Structure 1
Amino acid sequence: MSELRPDKPGRDTSAGDEIGWTGGVMRVLRRVTRLVEVNVLVLLGAAAGGVVLGLWPAVRAASTVLLDGDPADAPWRPFWREWLAGWRRANVLGAPLTVGGAALLLDYLVLLQLDGPGRAALQLGLVLVGVWGAVVLAYWPRVVLRYDRSALETWRFLLLSPALGPGTAVGAVVVLGVCGLVAYVIPLLGLLAGIAVPLWLSGRMADDRLNHIDDQS
């Protein structure tokens, strides 16, 4: 039976602790730097496709880099490789999101012109549709990357996804809401990581739920 011996006098025992502490700080800094880099890449990817044709491939590629790639690797080459490889499919499957977003914006503009009961009813409807759409948006990149199904099958699943996991849906809404609030209060943070952070956090929750669904099927 071995016995514990005290450290020899004069031995410096702080070096390992210091290395562990600095290593943890460096890992955090690398994660933060990666989020900022991916955020910039999403903006560049959207601009490369004229926004309308570049946004959804950029979101898909960013989700791949953040959740499926090696954190130690530089994200630039993997991002553009995925952007090009998934450009057509991402735009086909992202078109309903673009149309839905435009419809919500028009309804909001109409809401500003209304008053009385009609305004309250439309406002409630917009809130419900917006929350449901936010959950669908959280699932979208992970579903598009995980399943090679037709557009109809994919969107049938996406529209039902908030009901398939209420806990995940609530978590995704909270994450998106908090990130949006932080970006509103501190615009610089929103500019630096306002896309990558919610994409990463909500994507992790969506992955957990999709893993559970796959295990049950």
Structure 2
Amino acid sequence: MSEISDLDMEDALQIDIVSDVVCPWCIVGFKQLEKAIEQTGVTAAVKWHPFELNPEMPAEGENLREHIMRKYGSTEEQSQSARDRLTEIGRELGFDFNFTDDMRMVNTFEAHQLLHWAAHEGKEHPLKMALFEAYFAKRLNLNDKTVLADVAESVGLDRAEALNVLEDNRYADAVRQEETFWTQNGIQGVPAVVFERRHLITGAQGVDNYTAIIRQLMDGEAA
């Protein structure tokens, strides 16, 4: 039976994932990886790491479609086609993308601070999943402290303490340092998945490819 845990268990397959909670391919890649973990029956210890797609994004954010078209030079038709494709892929993986024309891209630095705190509380993974759902399925503003505190509470974290964490920015320096570590080590796009702290795989690779990678690693450990 497969298992995904926040704990760094000695016998578990160690998986570090660098990602952002407003990155659609990050949740697609994880859902593919999750299915691969289920298919192989391996026990995996997943650790999430921060990456900001748009660190300079102002507090008010930007219309998501306009942002994507400006950033990548895509047309409105290409943007809609990408949304349709993601929605279908998400449906196949059991994740609901609920894109609308008024969705906004937002800064995620505070969300990453909250995740850093949640890791100390043993709730990093459920909070990460809840934040993906809050943004892509419920279209909530992940740069709003009250929204973030509500999401934290939904996975069993203390809401008042979540607000305190966001108000006093106690983990801001730690998050910046971690972001810097990954970018200085060559991570320029996400998702970036590191198996056993030495095998880097970038992009959403698909269930079959992740399954093959895990089996190769398992065979290597058994040899």
**What TM-score, normalized to structure 1?**
0.29
Q: Kindly name which structure, 1 or 2, has the bigger radius of gyration based on alpha carbons.
A: 1
Q: Which has the higher helix share?
A: 1
Q: Which has the higher strand share?
A: 2
**What TM-score, normalized to structure 2?**
0.28
Greater relative contact order (Cα 8 A, min sep 6): structure 1 or 2? 2
